[in-house]
Amino acid sequence: MSERKVIVAGWTTVDPEKRDEAVESFKDLVLRARNAPGCLDMAITADTVDPSRINIFEFWRSEEDLNAWRAVSDPPKEVTPIVKMEVQKHIIQESGPPF
């Protein structure tokens, strides 16, 4: 198993009037992910400044754990259409204290 942790992070934008509904549609997925083997953290949240933006953050013990989750994640079938998206996967080489 890989010893490198993985972060998937970024954002999407949707119709501002549909944003909270879109975030809510992922609640079950987030709860299940947080209980999945290798998930260190998962959040899909409304942005505090931009009413159309949804922030995405996933933190996994390994790429293998992330891939295993993706195989069984069963995301919501009906989601508010995405206007724009910027999400990247990061393989962590080194970590340390933030300050």
**Integer angstrom CA distances of residue 50 from 4, 16, 42, 56, 87:** 33, 8, 20, 14, 17
Residue 97 within a domain = no
* The pLDDT of residue 2: 54
**Domain span at 85:** 6-91
Rounded mean pLDDT, 73-95: 93
Q: pTM above 0.75?
A: yes
The residue written with tokens 């999407």 in the block is 12
* The pLDDT of residue 3: 80
Please state the domain count of the chain. Answer: 1
Residue 1 within a domain = no
Summarize pLDDT for 35-63 with one digit per residue, the tens. 999 999 999 999 999 999 999 999 999 99
The CATH number of the domain holding residue 45 is: 3.30.70.100
Rounded mean pLDDT, 57-82: 94
Neighbours of 6 (CB within 10 A): 21
* The pLDDT of residue 78: 83
Residue 85 within a domain = yes
Within 13 Å, how many C-alpha atoms sit on residue 69's CB side?
26
Q: Which residues contact 20 (CB under 8 A, 6 or more apart)?
A: 46
